[in-house]
């Protein structure tokens, strides 16, 4: 019966022989107990791995409005006369692997260069109308690309600080109000950094220094011990004067 059972249900174990070669990679002690490293997005606060479907809430309001350029005159001046520099500083603060000169040059070529080309095309009327139309069409397309490029970094800023879309989609904001959006992002970044750096400090005063004078303590102890010895000797002399009368 046992032989029939083994023949109908073959064993799942394989018998090893001496002729078989050992495995190429040996398992080291404790190798199977190594921690599992999960790859994915991590929380910026605690470092915990987040699920793929997690989306951070975007409900925080902006600290300044889109038209609050006059709140920071220095940022307003830089954004009006040198917007490429201001944009480069914003990108460098968000992406440490990108130097500020790279986005600054891209902004200067596409935005400032496109505006200059549009002004020259409007001034010189000798340009062929078809050529002017093609130039204008190219400028509109390059402006849309620039708005998409700058809107991506505005979206990263919103994800970092959980900011909501204000007043609309980031790309549309840069397409319609590029200079105002550039200044708003710079003010928001500076304000957030100032809030994070302002950590309340607790001032702890050290305890007063305590000094111990050992000679004085010893001097005070000696007279007390001497007085105790004299009292003990006087009591002993009184007991010695008592006469014992036998009965």
Nearest to 60 by CA among 206, 175, 158: 158
Q: Is position 205 within any domain? A: no
Q: Is position 123 within any domain? A: yes
Q: Is position 83 within any domain? A: yes
Domain count, the chain: 1
Tokens 């496109």 locate to: 114
Q: Is position 180 within any domain? A: yes
Q: Is position 161 within any domain? A: yes
With a cut of 50, say whether residue 221 has pLDDT above it. no
Determine the average pLDDT of the residues in 15-20: 58
Q: Is position 202 within any domain? A: no
Strand-pair partners of 42: 49
In tens, the pLDDT along 71-109 reads 888 999 999 899 999 999 999 988 888 899 999 999 998
In tens, the pLDDT along 164-213 reads 888 889 999 999 999 999 999 999 988 887 665 545 556 667 677 777 66
| Domain extent for 144 | 73-194
At 151, is the pLDDT very low, low, confident or very high (cuts 50, 70, 90)? very high
Q: What is the mean pLDDT of the chain?
A: 74
Measured CA to CA in angstroms, residue 100 lies from 40, 73, 194 at distances of 28, 22, 21
In the prediction, which pLDDT does 184 show?
A: 93
Structure tokens at 8: 């109908």
In the prediction, which pLDDT does 88 show?
A: 92
Q: 9-23, 128-142, 186-200: which has the minimum mean pLDDT?
A: 9-23
Most confident range, picked from 9-23, 128-142, 201-215, 216-230: 128-142
Q: Is position 66 within any domain? A: no
Give the distance from CA 169 to its chain's centroid.
25
Helix (H/G/I), strand (E/B), else coil: 112: helix
- The answer to whether the CB of 157 falls within 8 A of the CB of 189 is yes
Structure tokens at 194: 């100032």
CA–CA distance, 202 with 90 (Å, rounded to integer)? 33
Q: Is position 92 within any domain? A: yes
């Amino acid at each position: 019966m046992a032989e029939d059972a083994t023949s109908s249900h073959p064993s799942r174990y394989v018998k090893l022989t001496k002729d078989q070669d050992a495995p190429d990679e040996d398992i080291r002690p404790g190798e199977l107990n190594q921690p599992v490293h999960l790859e994915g997005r991590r929380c910026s606060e605690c470092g915990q791995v987040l699920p793929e479907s997690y989306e951070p809430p975007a409900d925080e309001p902006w600290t300044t409005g889109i038209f609050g350029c006059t709140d920071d005159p220095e940022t307003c001046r830089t954004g009006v006369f040198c917007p490429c520099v201001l944009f480069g500083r914003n990108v460098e603060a968000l992406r440490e692997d990108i130097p500020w000169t790279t986005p600054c040059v891209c902004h200067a070529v596409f935005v400032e260069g496109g505006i200059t080309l549009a002004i020259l095309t409007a001034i010189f009327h000798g340009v062929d109308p078809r050529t002017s139309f093609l130039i204008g069409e190219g400028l509109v397309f390059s402006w849309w690309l620039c708005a998409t490029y700058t809107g991506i970094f505005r979206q990263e800023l919103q994800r970092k600080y959980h900011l909501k879309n204000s007043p609309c989609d980031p790309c549309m904001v840069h397409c319609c109000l590029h200079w105002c959006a550039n200044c708003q992002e710079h003010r928001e970044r500076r304000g957030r950094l100032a809030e994070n750096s302002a950590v309340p400090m607790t001032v702890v005063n050290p305890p007063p220094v305590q000094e111990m004078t050992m000679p004085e303590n010893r001097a005070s102890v000696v007279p007390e011990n001497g007085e105790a010895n004299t009292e003990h000797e006087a009591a002993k002399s009184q007991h010695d004067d008592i006469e014992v009368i036998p009965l």
